[in-house]
Structure 1
Amino acid sequence: MKTFLKAAAIAALAGISLPSFALAQTEGGAIDVATIGEPPTLDPMTSTADLVGIITQHMFETLYTFDANWAVVPLLAADMPEISEDGTVYTIALREGVTFHDGSDMTAEDVVASLERWLRIASRGMQTAETVEGVEAVDDYTVQITLSGPYAPLLSLLSLNNSAAIVIPSEIAGEDVMEDFVGTGPYQLAERRPDQYIQLTRFNDYVSRDEDSSGYGGARHQYLDEIRFVPVPDPNTRIEGAVAGQFDYIDSIAVEAYDRIASGNTEPVMLAPFGWPVFVMNTAEGVNSDIAVRKAIQAALAPQDMLLAAFGSEDFFTADGAMYPEGYVWHTEAGTEPYKPMGDTELASQLLADSSYDGSPLRILTSRQYEFHYTMAQVAEAYLEAAGFDVQLDVVEWATLTQRRTDPALWDIYITHSPFLPEPSLTGIMSDSSPGWWVSDAKHAALGAFNAEADPDARVELWAAVQEAIYEEVPAFKVGNFNAVAAQSPALEGMNPAPWPYFWNAWLEE
């Protein structure tokens, strides 16, 4: 089983289909899922945190989602949209008979109000709003989105589960602050006890799609009665809980604990490669508003040492500056010359001396709930100080970090990570309103051309210019590629390893 789980994880990310196994699904039971902490919100429109998306994707749904091959497929939409010849009008037929958790029927009125809220308050929605001229209901079950010009990432943006374009009742969508968490998902919110658990229970009136399950798409079966998400912010406690079999699923475990977990009461699950750690720069104000300072940071950091300290073995990471690794359609080496695995302290010191840096503390915002973030911050601190920076590590809870990063007065760098997303424009820094607030003519020119192009092959070529702009203006520093480890109970069946684990289609073996 352990070997199959690892193979399935790798295959899932690579878009490879594995043979299915005939297992008898059993209904009933509850599972406990250990998460990295307490989510800052249960409104996925207002957060790009993976933790928020992992939990809320069970409660809320979007018009589209991703299948096992990362292709966009319909979810609440009845089918793929009809797109006008000039690429500016998307006509979306909705599924009929879909019910919200409050018992009301989903109609085009709800979808329009939800999309308008998303365009107004979500970072990826605001990114999209720049090209949206209007959203309107054609009839009770048809919605039309009109754009000012072709915008290739639209369907991917409508599919993602964080900063998500969820569909909620129109009366809730009219409010910027969500107080009633009512969606269409297979599970509904039953109780939230902060720092103890978030309890989701089966929504008995859920209307699933009929297609075979595939990734996040297709049928969503409700075998489990209840899912409890339990915040376990200490990474060592998550490891001990995994070894002891305390939880049915444990998210985000240090990779060096893989063998120890394998000898315990749960089974390790590895996703390889999972994604990339990233140091996001505050380009809006403070010391990093000077591009010369950001270039000095880029030169000072030593990704090989940072990754080695964080992950312990090259079995779990690769020092790689390309935004997508080899094997991905988006892979290119364009612009990556400044990426030096061992850094360049001398160059960094020279760049810093020629910048506006006045010796103010370089504030790095990080959290120990993702232990590898904190470890990389410690190594980065040493290299940055060697280059001449005064470094201040601000270590907070992850929920606090996701709140603080929205205020440009409170930080200069924050540390996060991302899976390799199927559409590059889903990456946070692509939005002008995402924390970091990267706005420039070079970005808009490169990204605008990339997003306006519909031809997939041409988009691959245009992506190179976007990556070059990232390296030239340093809105973020990609540290490298890394593998992720989770753990699950041998009694928990039906799981498909995924960047954002989901528990519809899962069941407990008797």
Structure 2
Amino acid sequence: MDKNKSNNTGKNVMIHRTRLFLTAAATALLAAPLSAETIDVAIIGEPDTFDPMVSTKDVVSIVTQHFVETLYTFDDTWSVVPLLAAGMPEISEDGLTYVIPLREGVTFHDGSSMDSADVKASLDRWLEVASRGKAIADKVSSVEATGPNEITLTLSAPYAPLMSLLAFSNSAAAIYPEEIIAPEIETVIGTGPYKLEAHQPDQYTQLVRFGGYTQPTGAAERAQTPDEIRFIPVPDGNTRVEGLLSGQFAYADGLSTEAYDRIAEAAGAEPVLLEPFGWPVFAINHKKGLMTDLNIRKAVQAALPFDDMLFAAFGDEKFFQTDGAMYPEGWAWRTDAGVELYNQNDQEKAKGYLEEAGYDGSPLRILTSRQYEFHYQMAEVARMALEMAGFTVEMDVVDWATLAQNRDNPDLWDIYITHSPFLPEPALTSSFFATAREGWNNPEKNAILDRFTSESDPEKRKAVFAELQKIVLEDVGLIKVGNFNALQGKAAGLEGVTPSPWPAFWNAKLAE
């Protein structure tokens, strides 16, 4: 196919730490004051890849969504809208065939033109290497380029969440040039409004406006307002706060709720509270180790004091809710199925489960990080309760990049701590699937999940989701800690950034 390929003391200390944290190169890059042309964003750590197809980390999604795009995306109401696609797909009556028109005139950052061969190669790779792609690979019979600007997906069974999967920027069905497709892509080439200009590991990622960008229409429009967007990895949460307050950053992600009042009282900054945001989770290793025993899992579930954990993490009830349902009040997926097993806070009951399991005192290994400080604070309270129940607990506290690497090795952990925003489609939660790194391969759960994803009727899907939530709690597939509100912060004059778990900055502007 022919293609055109070409506290005051504390505050002073933390400001000092901010300056020390940045190397000479990064300090030089950030020396200029905030301007309308450049947006500096403090993120919780270094993206360990610029290939969002192979990552579920929020920090990767936040950065890469600016230069890598998908066929579809979400609008501000979480409805799926076209991005690289020219329109919504034509879906056959049996729900098995999706014919997707592609936009013409889309240019990759290398100057080549996007066509159906690129899309086919990208989607084939997504089904092979992406956690969410692998979760549905057995349901995709074929991906075909049925015209220069048309792609056809044929399924072996109806799959209701397909469009949400194609729209998600996390484990993304990203579109790359056919020529770079490989199991591992060294240099990512995208179609987004910004392109990667420079990257100094652990210092900054510099994006600049892509002059060849072709705008989608409607809700997906991306204005390319700033000339440059710079993402600065700042692992220490207090340092991110101080950088925001001192005017060093226009935006800061992943802030401790303890900083809310300081930011609200500051002349040059404003808090951005996402309410409700999501749920902290203790992810469970179902592949190897202690947690493969249901009685051990039940012992952990029974012992954990979620009220205390949430209070330690967030400090004020305006920032959290002790709630065992997978979705909060007001969401269509809200159900109380199985929640009687949530927040038992009964260490004696947990001891009984340990006796049934014949627990021999082997260490329960909890993998966590302090870059999301609330993860660590929850883990410390959990450790005390688990030890009271009779567990030997081993805390492995590492940086987020190391955690993200180690959680892929089931020999290294029994529980790792993470969190998720509330997602519009439950099937976007990869932990429900046996193909996820946790490996929860319960046959009864798998059958429920298959019924859920193949059902298209919204009311029937709600009923099946209630069954899924019930078995999550009964089999302890994962452990939800509660609901929480997330804090970000922005410069007082910053406009054009919609509050989101994955804030985007293509429309961002600082008032002069």
Q: Tell me the TM-score normalized by structure 1.
A: 0.92
The answer to whether 1:278 aligns with 2:286 is no
1:433 to partner: Cα distance: 2.2
1:242 to partner: Cα distance: 1.9
The answer to whether 1:310 aligns with 2:321 is no
CA distance, structure 2, for counterparts of residue 490 and residue 261 of structure 1? 10
Partner of 1:206: 213
CA distance, structure 1, for counterparts of residue 345 and residue 484 of structure 2? 19
* Counterpart pick for 2:149 among 138, 141, 147: 141
* Counterpart pick for 2:435 among 433, 436, 439: 433
1:428 to partner: Cα distance: 2.1
1:435 to partner: Cα distance: 1.9
1:425 to partner: Cα distance: 0.5
Q: List aligned pairs for 1:62-211, cutoff 5 A.
A: 62-173=70-181, 175-211=182-218
Specify whether residues 137 and 356 from structure 1 end up closer, same or farther in structure 2 by C-alpha distance, changes over 3 A only: farther
The question of whether the paired residues in 2 share the 8 Å contact of 1:29 and 1:224 is answered with yes
The question of whether the paired residues in 1 share the 8 Å contact of 2:39 and 2:508 is answered with no
1:356 to partner: Cα distance: 4.3
CA distance, structure 1, for counterparts of residue 360 and residue 169 of structure 2? 41
CA distance, structure 1, for counterparts of residue 86 and residue 357 of structure 2? 55
Gaps spanning 5+ residues in structure 2: where?
A: 1-34
Query: Which range is displaced more, 435-444 or 321-330?
Result: 435-444
Deviations 1:162-190 (A, max 9, x none): 111000001112x1111111101101111
Structure 1 vs Structure 2: percent identity of aligned residues? 57
The answer to whether 1:225 aligns with 2:233 is no
Q: The residue matched to 2:278 in structure 1 has which SS?
A: strand
* Counterpart pick for 1:419 among 405, 421, 429: 421
The question of whether the paired residues in 1 share the 8 Å contact of 2:223 and 2:506 is answered with yes
Opposite residue 104 of structure 1, the aligned amino acid is S
Opposite residue 510 of structure 2, the aligned amino acid is L
Q: List aligned pairs for 1:256-271, cutoff 5 A.
A: 256-264=258-266, 265-271=268-274
Opposite residue 79 of structure 2, the aligned amino acid is A
* Counterpart pick for 1:337 among 330, 337, 340: 340
Partner of 1:322: 325
CA distance, structure 1, for counterparts of residue 463 and residue 374 of structure 2? 33
* Counterpart pick for 1:475 among 474, 477, 498: 477
Query: Which range is displaced more, 466-475 or 101-110?
Result: 466-475
Partner of 2:249: 247
CA distance, structure 2, for counterparts of residue 71 and residue 442 of structure 1? 31
Partner of 1:289: 292
1:491 to partner: Cα distance: 2.4
1:354 to partner: Cα distance: 0.5
CA distance, structure 1, for counterparts of residue 441 and residue 300 of structure 2? 19
CA distance, structure 2, for counterparts of residue 278 and residue 210 of structure 1? 37
Q: The residue matched to 1:130 in structure 2 has which SS?
A: helix
1:75 to partner: Cα distance: 0.8
The answer to whether 1:380 aligns with 2:387 is no
Gaps spanning 5+ residues in structure 1: where?
A: 1-26
CA distance, structure 2, for counterparts of residue 28 and residue 137 of structure 1? 42
Opposite residue 325 of structure 2, the aligned amino acid is A
The question of whether the paired residues in 2 share the 8 Å contact of 1:243 and 1:263 is answered with no
Opposite residue 299 of structure 1, the aligned amino acid is A
Q: List aligned pairs for 1:483-498, cutoff 5 A.
A: 483-498=485-500
* RMSD (Å), alpha carbons: 1.1
The question of whether the paired residues in 2 share the 8 Å contact of 1:224 and 1:507 is answered with yes
CA distance, structure 2, for counterparts of residue 344 and residue 245 of structure 1? 47
Partner of 2:5: none
CA distance, structure 2, for counterparts of residue 323 and residue 440 of structure 1? 19
Q: How many residues align?
A: 477
The question of whether the paired residues in 2 share the 8 Å contact of 1:119 and 1:126 is answered with yes
Q: Tell me the TM-score normalized by structure 2.
A: 0.92
CA distance, structure 2, for counterparts of residue 367 and residue 130 of structure 1? 35
Deviations 1:354-404 (A, max 9, x none): 014321111100000000000000000000001111001100110111111
CA distance, structure 2, for counterparts of residue 474 and residue 127 of structure 1? 20
Opposite residue 389 of structure 2, the aligned amino acid is A
The question of whether the paired residues in 2 share the 8 Å contact of 1:40 and 1:403 is answered with no
Q: List aligned pairs for 1:33-52, cutoff 5 A.
A: 33-52=41-60
CA distance, structure 2, for counterparts of residue 124 and residue 360 of structure 1? 33
CA distance, structure 2, for counterparts of residue 90 and residue 137 of structure 1? 12
Shift >3 Å, 4+ stretches: none
The question of whether the paired residues in 1 share the 8 Å contact of 2:433 and 2:446 is answered with no
The question of whether the paired residues in 1 share the 8 Å contact of 2:84 and 2:102 is answered with yes
* Counterpart pick for 1:397 among 399, 407, 428: 399
1:508 to partner: Cα distance: 2.2
* Counterpart pick for 1:347 among 346, 349, 368: 349
* Counterpart pick for 1:300 among 294, 300, 303: 303
* Counterpart pick for 1:57 among 65, 68, 92: 65
The question of whether the paired residues in 2 share the 8 Å contact of 1:181 and 1:189 is answered with no
The question of whether the paired residues in 2 share the 8 Å contact of 1:274 and 1:484 is answered with yes
CA distance, structure 2, for counterparts of residue 187 and residue 110 of structure 1? 20
